[in-house]
Amino acid sequence: MSVLETIQGPADLAGLSEQQLADLAREIREFLVAKVSRTGGHLGPNLGVVEITLAIHRVFDSPRDRILFDVGHQAYVHKILTGRQAGFDQLRRKGGLSGYPSRQESVHDVIENSHASAALSYADGLAKAYQLRGEDRHVVVVVGDGALTGGMAWEALNNIAAAKDRRIVIIVNDNGRSYTPTVGGLASYLNALRTNPRYEQVLELVKRSLNRTPIVGAPVYDVLHGVKRGLKDVLVPQGLFEDLGLKYVGPIDGHDRAAVEHALEQAKRFGGPVLVHCVTRKGYGYHIAEQDEADCFHSPPTFDPATGIPLTGSEPKWTSIFREELVEIGRQRPDVVAITAAMEHPTGLDAFAREFPDRCFDVGIAEQHAVTSAAGLAMGGMHPVVAIYSTFFNRAFDQVLMDVALHRCPVTFVLDRSGVTGEDGPSHHGMWDLSILQVVPGLRIAAPRDGTRLRELLWQAVGIDDGPTVLRFPKGAVPDDVPAVDRVGGCDILVRTGEPDVLVVAVGAMATTCVDVASRLAGHGIGVTVVDPRWVKPVDPVLIDLARQHRLVVSVEDNGRVGGVGAALGLALADAGVPTPLHVAGIAQEFLQHGSRSELLADLGLSAQALARDIVERVASLEGAPLDALAGGEHDPLPRG
């Protein structure tokens, strides 16, 4: 039996020998590669925290002590050690193990939100609560060097440092990378500590002193702390973290479990906020990941573990089309610049950055700064294109509203991963952008239905210079082009069959589904017009006129129903006194769990079959006619369910 098979919970770690612990670390890595190669997921980050997570669960007492992970994509090892090994065959699959901590799964999990740079704020709050309640509990936070480039992290550190007696242990997992090498002054600071040759000597000294000195409390900590202060004062006049008032321990070799345990024991005894700086390598222990220059296998799809080669074909993705077209725009528009929040490749800016290195800015995981910096660039005469996943864009709402739109800055936001994303779960679905952005005066939103429209609309967006524009599209494969049969104003008519009974307003990528709906209704006496407004904000007046001509309007969007495109259309129809009934088909305003995009859309009633069935029922209720008469009785091609 392997050591790993004996681990059902953290308590099983206590009695293990050094050899067993070394075997366990190896077995965990083998487990991660074997499982994640079959499901896809965050392999690189988790390979890098095996020793750190083992040390945490040997030194602290979860769930009494709370273990928090920033982002949470690196919590697989934590899940393995807390009784969830069996779930990894269904990792990130509908109904299976979440790829992030989940309170529904385990009492050992706390934070379910996968948005970076928030964990330290949770820790500050939790520690305050335990102090007020007189509970002697530690709060342990694993935060990556990338997550530390986010502003919230520093807001939290500012507060944590002020409270000398709150039991918070911050473990900085410093692998020098977000996806790509971490950027900015902080990265340079951490790098200075990591890469100076004296660091190696000092590390050796620390290691020897740790191994020689049994854990007797203060002396070990003082050795660690004193030596480090010496190092830091030599390298950097004043320790950044110590200047804040935080006790700093490190840098520690994050793959030396015993050294990490020693440091955590000292931190635990200190009884106040301590920051333990662990130096690790992303993808550690799986050479294919370690050598992956792109992103160290940050989040690979299913792959062959022997070669690392993806098992799924690389079909043209929305991102690929954006990547290609932006380079062409960059060639013709020297005023166009690009901004990423530590996701240059995932958002498709990597090609632009290669061709125009001086015109592409990676600001770190700092979406709020990205947006207001874009306002500054626009005020300086440039036209910024800010590429951010839809869900991460949420946190920069005030910056879009007050720093960009109030000043009518010509900034183009490109929101990839809009709508139902899939396997990353509730805090990754981009189901809010069409709602929250409706309230921004002067901001225009385009939702391309296919690759050709993406190219067209991107050019139109960067051509608008009197205010901000947004393009939004989903994750994954691009549908075949959906040609228009007519153009009315700014709207494309995609289908026009029979009498003008039902007007289907297709928002962006839902157009393919809406055309399928029309074909399912064609043979049943229900005339359908499918219209793609292309620019979905502001509401195109053409839609008002088309609605007047039809008996029912159905809007279909891959966004929350509340406050989305359909809701805005409803307000416009009411303001125009158009009595045509409107049904808004969209995502129920609830947190969606993880699963494939197609599964989740079907569950939401956004499949062509479900939409067609719903329209048949709505038309029938308009006429009071029995459903069967409309739907062809036993011949009904729209079986329930």
Ligand X SMILES: Cc1ncc(C[n+]2csc(CCOP(=O)(O)OP(=O)(O)O)c2C)c(N)n1
Active site residues: 282, 367, 395
Cα dihedral angle (263, 268, 273, 279), rounded to 10 degrees? 20
- Give the nearest distance from C-beta 97 to ligand DXP in angstroms: 15
- Give the nearest distance from C-beta 324 to Mg ion in angstroms: 29
The span from the CA of 28 to the CA of 49, in Å, is 11
The span from the CA of 172 to the CA of 138, in Å, is 16
**Does position 255 bind ligand X by CB under 6 A?**
no
- The pair of structure tokens assigned to 363 is 């600001």
Half-sphere exposure of 535 (CA within 13 A, CB side): 21
**Does position 175 bind Mg ion by CB under 5 A?**
yes
- Give the nearest distance from C-beta 280 to Mg ion in angstroms: 8
Beta pairing class for 274-279 and 168-174? parallel
Say which entry of ligand X, Mg ion, ligand DXP, none residue 74 contacts (CB below 5 to 8 A, set by partner kind): ligand X
Q: Which stretch binds Mg ion (CB under 5 A): 24-32, 170-178, 189-197, 367-375?
A: 170-178
Considering only residues 142 to 161 of the shown chain, the ones binding Mg ion according to CB under 5 A are 144-146
**Does position 115 bind ligand X by CB under 6 A?**
yes
Cα dihedral angle (451, 454, 459, 463), rounded to 10 degrees? 170
Q: Which residue is nearest to ligand X (CB)?
A: 144
Site size toward ligand X (CB under 6 A) is: 25
Say which entry of ligand X, Mg ion, ligand DXP, none residue 424 contacts (CB below 5 to 8 A, set by partner kind): ligand DXP
- Give the nearest distance from C-beta 430 to ligand DXP in angstroms: 10
Return the DSSP state at 326: H
Q: Is 112 annotated as a binding residue?
A: no
Burial (CB < 10 A; 0-12, 13-18, 19+), residue 510, is buried
**Does position 278 bind ligand X by CB under 6 A?**
no
The answer to whether 123 touches 160, Cβ cutoff 8 Å, is yes
**Does position 145 bind ligand X by CB under 6 A?**
yes
The span from the CA of 28 to the CA of 343, in Å, is 28
**Does position 177 bind Mg ion by CB under 5 A?**
yes
**Does position 57 bind ligand X by CB under 6 A?**
no
The answer to whether 126 touches 101, Cβ cutoff 8 Å, is no
For the chain, the distance separating the N- and C-terminal CA atoms, rounded to the nearest angstrom, is 46
Q: Which residue is nearest to Mg ion (CB)?
A: 144
Considering only residues 161 to 190 of the shown chain, the ones binding ligand X according to CB under 6 A are 173, 175, 177-179
Return the DSSP state at 555: E
Q: Is 378 annotated as a binding residue?
A: no
Residue where the block lists tokens 């700092």: 366
Q: Is 218 annotated as a binding residue?
A: no
Distant-in-sequence, close-in-space partners of 146: CB < 8 Å, separation ≥ 6: 116, 177, 178, 179, 182, 342, 364, 365
Residues that bind ligand DXP (CB under 6 A): 71, 73, 114, 298-299, 346, 417, 421, 424, 475
The span from the CA of 53 to the CA of 142, in Å, is 9
Say which entry of ligand X, ligand DXP, Mg ion, none residue 535 contacts (CB below 5 to 8 A, set by partner kind): none
Q: Which stretch binds ligand X (CB under 6 A): 108-116, 271-279, 454-462, 583-591?
A: 108-116
**Does position 71 bind ligand X by CB under 6 A?**
yes
**Peptide bond just before 251 cis, omega within 30 deg:** yes
- Give the nearer residue to ligand X in terms of CB position, either 109 or 501: 109
Helix segments in 62-118, DSSP class H: 76-81
- Give the nearest distance from C-beta 572 to ligand X in angstroms: 33
Q: Which residues in this chain contact ligand X in the complex, by CB under 6 A? A: 45, 48, 71, 73-74, 114-116, 144-147, 173, 175, 177-179, 282, 341-343, 365, 367, 392, 395
Binding-site residues for Mg(2+) sit at: 145, 175
Q: Which residues in this chain contact Mg ion in the complex, by CB under 5 A? A: 144-146, 175, 177
